């Protein structure tokens, strides 16, 4: 880690009544291999979480299924439940020894999971509770209704959805105020552009997961490198800076298990891309 403190200079967005900087941190990577079990070094994992907060990150994304349970536990141990950090978690996926992700949107299960997440996060309420992925075996509206009830009952402050189509987002919005949508989106994968447009129109936070494409930015690597060289930056930083420019509702959550990588990702908020650079990147894959 550097001696200088790197500061999160992204501008802000309102999630419900809470103001967060638009560049957040994804805590899926602080677990063991294949996102199963504990990491080899739990101290470093907790250090990454604390360091994110020290750098001015106040939006942290996790899920009950990361580990499972491990990511939430380490966040709770590292920072507890500070008022000035919004911790967003999710429910709706089961795990197994093979590392599979199995959709499970059963209402009783979601109600069980909110209690376990509260315990691990050492929180009185969940700041943002996201339905992780629609489940073909449970009617979507039944799962969403459970999230709406949990909000009404005071277990969660805000509700989000994840991995949804435009139609599913419309359906969810008929049942509950949707504060955020978390779908895969990055320079190489714009499959969720229609959902992003709805979020922009309706001022819903859009959390692009895999914002640096799981560290696989080769597809437009030459263009990224060319722009990165101009700014003495890295291609990952350019990819993150482009996302922040792409929409005011965009809330990227780069995931890392490494304090140095965390700093580098936060430093992307200090990059100022020209209009021409943004346009070239936008046109590269649209």
DSSP state of 35: G
Q: Which of 141, 107, 147, 129 is nearest to 16 (CA)?
A: 129
Is 182 among the residues that bind ligand NAP (CB under 6 A)? yes
Stretch in the footprint of ligand NAP (CB under 6 A) among 8-16, 111-119, 192-200, 256-264 = 256-264
**Angle between helices 166-175 and 140-152 in degrees, nearest 10:** 40
Angle at 30 between CA 113 and CA 165, to 5 degrees: 55
Does 215 sit near ligand NAP (CB under 6 A)? yes
Active site (catalytic) residues: 66
Q: Is 236 in the site for ligand NAP (CB under 6 A)?
A: yes
Q: How far apart are CA 188 and CA 213, in angstroms?
A: 7
28 makes contact with ligand NAP (CB under 6 A): yes
DSSP three-state, residue 4: coil
Q: Which is nearer to ligand NAP, 68 or 154 (CB)?
A: 68
Which two tokens mark 116?
């376990």
Q: Tell me: does residue 168 bind ligand NAP (CB under 6 A).
A: no
Interacting residues with ligand NAP between 262 and 281 (CB under 6 A): 264-265
What is the rounded CA–CA span in Å between residue 184 and residue 216?
Answer: 14
CB of 164 to ligand NAP, least distance (A): 10
Long-range contacts of 245-249 (CB under 8 A, 24+ apart): 245/273, 245/278, 246/278, 246/282, 247/196, 247/199, 247/200, 247/206, 248/13, 248/200, 249/13, 249/196, 249/199, 249/200, 249/203, 249/204, 249/205, 249/206
Binder among 21, 22, 29, 95 for ligand NAP (CB under 6 A): 29
Q: Strands 18-21 and 12-15: what pairing?
A: antiparallel
Please report whether residue 163 would count as binding ligand NAP according to CB under 6 A.
yes
258 lies in the site for ligand NAP, by CB under 6 A: yes
**What's the CA gap between 90 and 62, in Å, rounded?**
7
- Using an 8 Å Cβ cutoff, are 129 and 150 in contact? yes
191 binds ligand NAP (CB under 6 A): no
Residue placing its CB nearer to ligand NAP in the complex, 198 or 208: 208
Binding segment toward ligand NAP, per CB under 6 A, in 118-126, 146-154, 252-260, 270-278: 252-260
Q: For ligand NAP, which stretch binds (CB under 6 A), given 51-59, 110-118, 213-221, 277-285?
A: 213-221
Q: State yes or no: residue 261 binds ligand NAP (CB under 6 A).
A: yes
Under the binding rule (CB under 6 A), the answer on residue 127 touching ligand NAP is: no
Single out the residue of 212, 224, 241, 243 in contact with ligand NAP (rule: CB under 6 A): 212
Which positions lie near ligand NAP, rule CB under 6 A?
A: 26-29, 61, 162-163, 182, 209-215, 236, 253-258, 261, 264-265
């Amino acid at each position: 880690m550097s001696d200088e403190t790197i500061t999160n200079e992204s501008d802000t967005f309102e999630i419900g009544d809470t103001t967060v900087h638009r560049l957040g941190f994804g805590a899926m990577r602080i677990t063991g291999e294949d996102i199963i079990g504990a990491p080899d070094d739990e101290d470093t994992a907790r250090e990454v979480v604390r360091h994110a907060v020290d750098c001015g990150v106040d939006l942290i994304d996790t899920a009950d299924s990361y580990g499972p349970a491990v990511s939430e536990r380490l966040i709770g141990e590292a920072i507890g439940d500070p008022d000035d950090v919004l911790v967003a978690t999710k429910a709706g996926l089961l795990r197994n020894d093979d590392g599979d992700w199995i959709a499970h949107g059963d209402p009783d299960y979601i109600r069980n999971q909110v209690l376990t997440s509260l315990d691990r996060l050492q929180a009185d309420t969940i700041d943002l509770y996201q339905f992780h992925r629609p489940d073909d075996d449970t009617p979507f509206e039944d799962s969403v209704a459970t999230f709406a009830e949990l909000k009404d009952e005071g277990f969660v402050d805000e509700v989000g959805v994840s991995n949804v189509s435009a139609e599913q987002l419309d359906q969810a919005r008929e049942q509950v105020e949707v504060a955020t949508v978390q779908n895969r989106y990055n320079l190489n994968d714009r499959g969720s552009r229609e959902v992003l447009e709805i979020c922009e129109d309706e001022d819903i936070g859009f959390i692009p997961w895999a914002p640096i494409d799981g560290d696989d930015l080769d597809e437009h690597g030459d263009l990224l490198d060319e722009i990165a060289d101009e700014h003495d930056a890295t291609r990952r930083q350019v990819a993150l800076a482009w996302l922040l420019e792409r929409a005011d509702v965009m809330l990227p959550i780069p995931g890392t298990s490494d304090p140095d990588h965390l700093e580098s990702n936060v430093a992307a908020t200090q990059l100022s891309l020209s209009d021409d650079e943004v346009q070239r990147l936008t046109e590269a894959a649209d």
